[in-house]
Amino acid sequence: QVQLVESGGGWVQAGGSLRLSCTASGRTFSSIAMGWFRQVPGQEREFVTAIGWPDANTIYGDYVKGRFTTSRDNAQNTVHLQMNSLKPENTAVYYCAARSGSVRPDAWAYTYWGQGTQVTVSS
């Protein structure tokens, strides 16, 4: 089992920034991808970004390219999601997820999930 704990959510005005973090513990894998997804009530979970290890391959959802950046600190078993130039439509619960293997944009491909952290962007 892998346990994921997110932190860093909160409230921010439009144009501001937030940095989310996700710390993993438990089982280790030779290859693991860490992803971020977002979900608005009544809608499906949407892919934001994912980063692999050890290859550090990174993919992004189309709507966040250039504004969001993901990175990982292997020593701390932590991935970060830096969100800049936030917009009200970025308001959602953001989830960290993990899977054994390469990065994928599909929520169903991820086995382990965090509890989610709320991000609210006001206009």
97-117 residue pLDDT tens: 999 999 999 999 999 999 999
Give just the sign of the alpha carbon dihedral 2, 38, 91, 40. negative
| Residue-wise pLDDT tens digits, 7-61 | 999 999 999 999 999 999 887 777 889 999 999 999 999 999 999 988 889 999 9
Tokens 């144009």 locate to 15
Helix, strand, or coil (residue 94): strand
HSE, side-chain direction, 13 A CA sphere, residue 92: 21
Rounded-to-integer distance, Cα 97 and Cα 114, Å: 6
Residue 110 to residue 32: CA distance in whole angstroms: 10
- Nearest Cα to 32, choosing from 60, 55, 59, 53? 53
| pLDDT above 90 (res 67) | yes
Report the pLDDT value the prediction gives residue 64, as an integer from 0 to 100.
83
